[in-house]
Structure 1
Amino acid sequence: MEPPTTKIWTLVWHDEFDGDTFDRSKWDFDLGNGFYDDRVHGWVPGWGNDELPYYTSEPENVQVRDSSVFIRAVQAPLHGCGYTSARLKTQARDGRVLFAKRDGRVEFRARMRWGKGLWPALWMLPADDH
């Protein structure tokens, strides 16, 4: 009987969040509270999920420190929304894909708070998704 083979993984992308800012070649922010959907020719408020925050890149909502990302929802009115928070993605606002991988192994570590009205999430969406 042959010994089992061990799959060798090749690291193709990583971010250890060293320093105190985001690597803008890897990350960008969704700003606002929705998007224009060309398929339906209309505005989709709340990103299609009825999300309440207005997303910003402000330090009050998102910071890099101690090799971690901290995202904070704040009860603060902005542009008709009662809250602010942050949304990061690996696609630039101009549509450029900063990172996409079809196959492979993905690892991340996250600690998220829970409570009424909170919906912390990490999503893996296709590159052509809003």
Structure 2
Amino acid sequence: MAVKSDWTPLWADEFDSWDGERWQHHWGDGCQIGLCGWGNQELEFYTNNPNNSRIVDGNLVIEAKEVAGTEQAAVQQECWDECGRRCVTEGYIDGTPELHTCVLSCGNGRCPEIRFTSARISTVNKFSISPSAKFSTIRVEARIQLTPGTGLWPAFWMLPQDSKYGIWPSSGEIDIMESHTAMLAVNGTIHYGGSGDQWRHTTVARSLSPGFHVFRVDWSEKEMRWYLDHMLYGTVANTGNNKGWYSAGSSGSPTAPFGAGDNFYLLLNMAVGGAYPGFPSSDSIAQSMAEGPKQMVVDYVRVFGR
């Protein structure tokens, strides 16, 4: 892990094999946690199927796909089965008309409409980090190759391990890399605030295809710095707001929700459709997918402190 000597390696995955001690898969379309379309009207259904995520030649491959036939039927059945489990958990009795009605209410308009699958993995409850007295700056980076395609929305990002300042966006979000469709630009963004999203972002216009690129954020209590291929392209300082990063519910702490002890975990995913790519039609997405595999290939993820 070659790095300047003043940076201390804290965590890494080189993806020589799948490591369930480091990562876990997320599943579904978000409805199972009350966030249908993952809050952005996305169209994908996340799975842990090797068709959507796998290790190949030392890389993590996340692939978004259109499903059909038996593969589509299997994913749709997973959706219906989850509805059944949820209804039983809510107190409906197996075999009763009431349970049947609950399942139909849960799945109609969702389960039969599943057309695209993908993968989303994270280190939630496994690894999280924040600036500290020992390491005042945290560096998080990944080397990733992206495939252009209509409606694709790859992301390398971070969410709070504990939402101690309240629901999103109060407890924060750090987007290290987001791009979409033709992959002609990179966005780095932070989200914070009270009941409304107070977001600040920076963008660099550059074609990301073909080939690998290194996406990085350097995070301190006072500043976020975004890099593409080791070149700084954006800086956001908390002094730009007279309350700093301040999120409602934080008792006025100017570093919240990105301060010492505000631990965030890592995520990698490839979303399909929704707001960020401009709500492309399902048919246009499917046509693009038919042209060839749509993948997010990750060589490594590394975390350092200084």
Give me the TM-score of the superposition, normalised by structure 2.
0.35
Contact in 2 for aligned 1:54/1:84 (Cα 8 Å): yes
Equivalent residue of 2:148, what SS?
Answer: coil
Supply the distance in 1 between the matched residues of 2:32 and 2:52 (Cα, whole angstroms): 24
Supply the distance in 2 between the matched residues of 1:110 and 1:84 (Cα, whole angstroms): 20
Higher strand share: 2
Equivalent residue of 1:31, what SS?
Answer: coil
1:38-117 to structure 2, matched below 5 A, reads 43-76=34-67, 77=72, 78-79=75-76, 80=111, 81-91=114-124, 97-103=125-131, 104-117=138-151
Specify which of 133, 151, 157 is matched with residue 123 of structure 1. 157
Identity of aligned residues (%): 40
Specify which of 7, 10, 20 is matched with residue 8 of structure 2. 10
Equivalent residue of 1:120, what SS?
Answer: strand
CA drift of 1:115 comes to 2.1
Contact in 2 for aligned 1:113/1:120 (Cα 8 Å): no
Supply the distance in 2 between the matched residues of 1:105 and 1:10 (Cα, whole angstroms): 10
Specify which of 20, 30, 52 is matched with residue 24 of structure 1. 20
Amino acid in structure 1 at the alignment position of 2:127:
F
Cross-structure match for 1:40: none
Supply the distance in 2 between the matched residues of 1:18 and 1:113 (Cα, whole angstroms): 22
Contact in 2 for aligned 1:114/1:120 (Cα 8 Å): no
Contact in 2 for aligned 1:35/1:45 (Cα 8 Å): yes
Amino acid in structure 2 at the alignment position of 1:116:
T
Moved more, 116-125 or 53-62: 116-125
Work out which structure has the larger RCO, using CA pairs closer than 8 Å and 6 or more positions apart in sequence: 2
CA drift of 1:36 comes to 5.2
Q: Which runs of 5+ in 1 are unaligned?
A: 1-5, 38-42, 92-96
CA drift of 1:82 comes to 1.1
4+ runs of 1 displaced by more than 2 Å? 77-80
CA drift of 1:44 comes to 1.4
Cross-structure match for 2:258: none
Give me the TM-score of the superposition, normalised by structure 1.
0.78
CA RMSD of aligned residues (A): 2.0
Higher helix share: 2
Supply the distance in 2 between the matched residues of 1:112 and 1:124 (Cα, whole angstroms): 19
Amino acid in structure 2 at the alignment position of 1:90:
T
Q: Which runs of 5+ in 2 are unaligned?
A: 77-110, 132-137, 169-306
Supply the distance in 2 between the matched residues of 1:100 and 1:36 (Cα, whole angstroms): 24
Larger Cα-atom Rg: 2
